[in-house]
Amino acid sequence: MKSLLKSCTVLASVFSMTTAAVAQEPLQALGAGEGALSIVAWAGYIERGETDKNFDWVTDFEKKTGCMVSVKTAATSDEMVALMNEGGFDLVTASGDASLRLVAGKRVQPINTALIPSWSTIDERLQNAPWHTKDGVHYGTPYVWGPNVLMYNTKAFGDKAPDSWNVVFEEMTLADGKSNKGRIQAYDGPIHVADAANYLMFHKPELGIKDPFELNEDQYKAALDLLRVQRTLVSRYWHDAFIQIDDFKNEGVVASGSWPFQVNLLKADQPVASVFPKEGVTGWADTTMLHAESEHPNCAYMWMEHSLSPKVQGDVSAWFGTVPSVPAACKGNALLTDEGCKNNGFENFEKIKFWKTPVSKCESQGECVPYHRWVSDYIGVIGGR
C-alpha cells in the first residue's frame, strides 16, 4: 500500500505516453570510468556474493573497471519511476510497465549500441523490443526476462497441481479441506489489474479483451470487480519478495502470483512449486536504462557491456529463475546448467504477455483506460472500496 501511495504522487509527470520524448544525443565515445556507479534494481538482480558466495557478478566488475557499485533495491515499477524522477542514480533495471514512462518523462537517455560490443549477441526477439525502443532509438540494454508464475504449497493442494488462476481469484476449498480465504496473496502494484484481465480473457470471452493491458471502460470495470472479490480472500498484498518468502514459510500462505526468484529460494526446503496456469501468464522483460543526468556514464556503459557477458547472464538467470537475453548463456554455465534456459521458459516467450504501461490511445481498440486510473483505482481496491 505504501508503495502505491508514493507512486501516485509522481505519476502526473510521467503517465502520459502521448508526450513526445525528445532523443538527446547519446554518448559518442567511451572514456575513463568515473569510479562509481549507482543502480536502481529489483531484489536479487545485482549480487556481490553476500547472500550466496557463488553468485557474485559485481566484485570482478569493480576490480576490472574501478567503478564501485552501489544498489538501491526497488519493490515495484512505480517505485523505480519515483526514484529515477528524484535523480542521483545512473542505471535502472526497468520492466516494461516503467520503461516507456521513463522515456516519455525524459528520465532516461538513448544509448549508443556501438559502445556496447556485445549488443550483437542479444536475442533477436529482444534487440528491438518495443519496451526499450521508440522510433528506432534504443533506450537501454536488455537484461533478463521471465514469467509471473502461480506459486503454491504442494501440501495444501495435494496430489493435483492447480491448473488455473481461479485459486487466487475465487473462494474454494482446497485439497487439504480448508478454504483458500485468508491464505492467498496478490501483487501490490497497479499492473496486477492486467492479471485479472488476463483471467477474464479466458473465462469471459464475451468481454472482448484482446490485450490485458488495453482495457475499455467495460473491460476495466469487470477486472476491478474481480479484484474486489479477490480482496476478500487476500491475507497480504506483497511487493517485497523476501516478505512473501517468509509468509509462505511462516504465515500459512498457500498460493500467489510470484516470480521464479521466490520459488527457487523456497523450494529448497519448503513444499513449494509453481505452474503456468491454463489462462496464461503476464511477465516482464527488464532493461538496463541510463539516467538522463547520469554522473557516471562511462561506468554505466561498462556495466551494460558487463551485464551482457554469458557468464553474468547465466548467473543472474540461475539465481533469479529468469531467462538470459543472451542465448549463449544457455550453454556451459555451471550454475544455470544446460537445462536451465528451457526450465526457466526460454521457449515460452510467445506465451507471455509482457508488462507494458496502459495508455489511452491503444492499439487493440479505440480508447483504453490509462495507467493513472489503474493506480488510483487499485489503491481503492486494496483499501476495500
Do 130 and 6 have their domain in common?
yes
For residues 13 and 97, state if they share a domain. yes
- pLDDT tens, residue by residue, 48-89: 999 999 999 999 999 999 999 999 999 899 999 999 999 999
Give the pLDDT score at 72: 97
Per-residue pLDDT, 26: 87
Q: Give residue-wise pLDDT tens across range 137-194.
A: 999 999 999 999 999 999 999 999 999 999 999 999 999 999 999 999 999 999 999 9
Q: Are residues 171 and 235 in the same domain?
A: yes
Range of the domain at 244: 147-282+358-382
If one counts the domains in the chain, the total is: 2
- Kindly report, residue by residue over 308-360, the tens digit of the pLDDT: 999 999 999 999 999 999 999 999 999 999 999 998 989 999 989 999 999 99
φ/ψ of residue 19, rounded to 5: -65, 130
| Tens-digit pLDDT profile for residues 260-274 | 989 989 999 999 999
Decide the pairing of beta strands 184-187 and 141-147.
unpaired
CATH code, domain with 267:
3.40.190.10
Q: Are 276 and 14 in contact (CB under 8 A)?
A: no
What does the alpha-carbon distance between residue 288 and residue 93 come to, in Å, rounded to a whole number?
5
> How many contiguous H segments (helices) and E segments (strands) does the chain have?
15, 14
pLDDT-based confidence at residue 27 (cuts at 50, 70, 90): confident
Collect all residues with Cβ–Cβ distance below 8 Å to 60 and sequence separation of at least 6.
none
Statement to judge: residues 53 and 116 lie in one domain: yes
Q: What does each C-alpha distance from 119 to 111, 194, 326 come to in angstroms?
A: 11, 31, 9
323 and 244 within one domain: no
Same domain, 251 and 345: no
Tens digits of residue pLDDT in 101-144: 999 999 999 999 999 999 999 999 999 999 999 999 999 999 99
Asked if 253 contacts 234 with a C-beta cutoff of 8 angstroms, the reply is no
Do both 22 and 125 map to the same domain?
Answer: yes
pLDDT the model gives residue 311: 97
In this prediction, residue 22 has a pLDDT band, given cuts at 50, 70 and 90, of: very low
Give 97's contacts (C-beta < 8 A, 6+ positions apart): 77, 191, 284, 355, 356, 357, 371
pTM given for the model: 0.86
Same domain, yes or no, for 249 and 290? Answer: no
- If you count them, how many residues does the chain have? 385
Q: How many Å is the Cα radius of gyration of the chain?
A: 20
Percent of the chain topping pLDDT 90: 86
Q: Looking at the structure, tell me whether residues 174 and 250 fall in a common domain.
A: yes
User: Is it the case that residue 225 has pLDDT exceeding 60?
Assistant: yes
pLDDT on residue 370: 95
Asked whether residue 128 falls in the same domain as residue 253, the answer is no
Is residue 81 domain-shared with residue 165, that is, in the same domain?
no
Residues 157 and 254 in one domain: yes
Q: Is 139 exposed, middle or buried (0-12, 13-18, 19+ CB in 10 A)?
A: buried
Q: In the structure, what pLDDT confidence band is assigned to residue 15 with cuts at 50, 70 and 90?
A: very low
In sequence order, what are the residues at sequence separation of 6 or more whose Cβ sits closer than 8 angstroms to the Cβ of residue 117?
305
